[in-house]
Amino acid sequence: MTTRLVLASASPARLAVLRSAGVEPLVRVSAVDEDAIIDSLGPGAGPEETVIRLAEAKAHSVANDIVPDLDGVCWAGAADVLDCVVIGCDSMLRIGGALQGKPLSAEVARERWKSMMGTTGELLTGHCVVRIRDGAVVDEATGCSTTRVHFGTPSEQDLEAYLATGEPLEVAGAFTLDGRGGWFIDRIEGDPSSVIGIGRPLVRQLLGKVGVTVATLWR
């Protein structure tokens, strides 16, 4: 039986990364209160721990929905996930010693960009892979990838036009690499796919830890 990948995310960017790599995942959006999880970790939690715990919560939220469905009420595509891996991810930008998630408003995004221009930050993406076999969770693996991002200096006109698109409001760090925001990134050091939201090299390693090879996911 072919192993199916279930993406625990509504992110179109993550979906595009997987599709470009030969994988057509099932998409199941997690119902996770990110702020509550961060609060529960306390002030002593490090950046990597924070993004990994968020990724774990998302992956397990979806996995916990899948397993009861297989045992009782079925949903469309349930037959495809008797043998599957659920992948949850979470990205945050560390800059100036602080972690930044989604700005959610143009005002916050504007202030962040004004402080980021011409500086360097680290985009951290936590990953959690949950293995389901025969309708039961049997294994999991977690990890974090970190990529250094060197920000350019957009003109005021370009920045305002970028904010007006709405693109930076719903993404970690108020920028994208694969969208309009890529015009304002001078260079990166690390994995581009991780900056987009799901790091293929790290996912390959985590899949190996739960006994899945990349080729078995290709559709």
CA 170 – CA 211 distance, rounded (Å): 34
**Looking up tokens 């595009």, which residue turns up?**
16
pLDDT at 78: 52
Listing DSSP states for 78-134 in one string gives GGGGSEEEEEEEEEEEEETTEEE----SHHHHHHHHHHHTT-EEEEEEEEEEEEEET
Q: Which residues are catalytic?
A: 90
pLDDT tens digits, one per residue of 25-81: 999 998 888 889 988 988 888 999 999 999 999 999 999 988 765 544 444 455 556
Alpha helices in 26-105 (DSSP H): 34-41, 47-71
pLDDT tens digits, one per residue of 103-152: 999 999 999 999 999 999 999 999 999 999 988 899 999 999 999 999 99
Tell me the whole-structure pTM to 2 decimals.
Answer: 0.91
166 pLDDT exceeds 80?
yes
Q: What percentage of the chain's residues is helix, strand, coil (to nearest 5)?
A: 45, 25, 30
Q: How many residues does the chain have?
A: 219
